[in-house]
Amino acid sequence: MTKTNSNVLLISGHPDLSRSIANSEVLKQLATTSQIKIHKLDEACQGYQIDVAAEQALLTQADIIVLQFPLYWSTYPALMKLWFDEVFTYNFAFGPNGDKLKGKKVILSITCGATASSYQPGEFNFLPVEQYLQAAMHPVNAAQMDIIDSVITFEMNSTPDEGGNQNSVIELAQQHVARLIQSINHIQQ
């Protein structure tokens, strides 16, 4: 099959990329590809002020939407939560006339500081990560968008005091980007 030229929009939900190793490295790697438009909520929504019309316009122009975020206490950061609350409005994302995002392809691109094994009953994070994402992705599902793939990388903790390693995180971020690009290319075929 031939690849189509889809409009790919990545929404970065990290609240402060200047303090991030994992998400900053993912975005740095992705910035080298012209096929992805990167939209950083920490820059676009400073002071937690959201230009709803501008955000909605970005979403309606995209064919594929990548939601890039670190998992904070088993969900996305507060900035991304506010973004969903304000942008996924009645008669835009849901409701009788709320079909503006219907059928858009979504890829979840998630960095997790903890180990994969910690996301199970009896461990630190109690539940499989997929169970946490069911509730977190309610706005996406309500908007009738199609979650096509989830690219999740664990052990993305770069804080030495918490057992993290910056070099390891950069290597994992590069692997994460390779899987994400593979997923986007697969959708475009």
Model confidence over 111-134: pLDDT tens digits?
Answer: 987 766 666 677 565 666 676 777
CATH at residue 28 = 3.40.50.360
Residue 2 lies in a domain: no
pTM over 0.85: yes
Residue 1 lies in a domain: no
How many structural domains does the chain have? Answer: 1
Residue 22 lies in a domain: yes
| DSSP annotation of 2 | P
Is the distance from CB of 176 to CB of 109 less than 8 angstroms? yes
Residue 142 lies in a domain: yes
Residue 3 lies in a domain: no
Q: Which domain, by its residues, includes 133?
A: 8-188
Alpha helix stretches (DSSP H) within the chain = 22-30, 41-44, 52-61, 78-87, 129-136, 138-142, 166-188
Residue 116 lies in a domain: yes
How is residue 155 written in tokens? 């052990």
Q: What SS3 class is residue 79?
A: helix
CA distance between the termini of the chain: 6
- Taking 90 as the threshold, does the pLDDT of residue 8 lie above it? yes
Mean predicted lDDT score pLDDT of the chain: 87
